[in-house]
């Protein structure tokens, strides 16, 4: 009998800005997820959306949300690695 494989956990520092900080009731947190597939920003968003409530509605497909990985703008398909900082924020407009 072979032992069951254990997925490695990876850790990310998440930062929420503007309306998302209020909606989620926090400014930052650490998230650990299993590295059982190549990880992208979208994998992080899926994990957060799975919490339901404000997470599901604020991060739903079609909502205007932007991302930065290690302080550089990134798209949903951008790869992420253990220890990365992911900022999630609404688009900013100026006047």
Topology adopted by domain 9-89: Ubiquitin-like (UB roll) (3.10.20)
What pTM value is reported for the model? 0.87
- Which DSSP letter does residue 83 get? T
> What is the secondary structure of 26-78 as a DSSP string?
-SEEEEEEE-SS--BHHHHHHHHHTT-HHHHHHTSTTS--EEEETTEEE-TT-
Q: What is the pLDDT of residues 31-76, one digit of tens each?
A: 999 998 889 999 999 999 999 999 999 999 999 999 999 999 999 9
- pLDDT of residue 95 exceeding 60: no
């Amino acid at each position: 009998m072979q032992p069951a494989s254990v997925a490695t956990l990876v850790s990310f520092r998440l930062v929420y800005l503007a309306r998302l900080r209020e909606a989620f009731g926090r400014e930052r947190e650490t998230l650990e997820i299993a590295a059982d597939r190549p990880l992208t920003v979208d994998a992080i968003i899926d994990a957060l959306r799975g919490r339901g409530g404000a997470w599901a509605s604020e991060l739903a497909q079609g909502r205007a949300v932007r991302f930065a990985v290690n302080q550089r703008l990134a798209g949903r398909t951008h790869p992420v690695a253990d220890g990365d900082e992911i900022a999630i924020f609404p688009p900013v407009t100026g006047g």
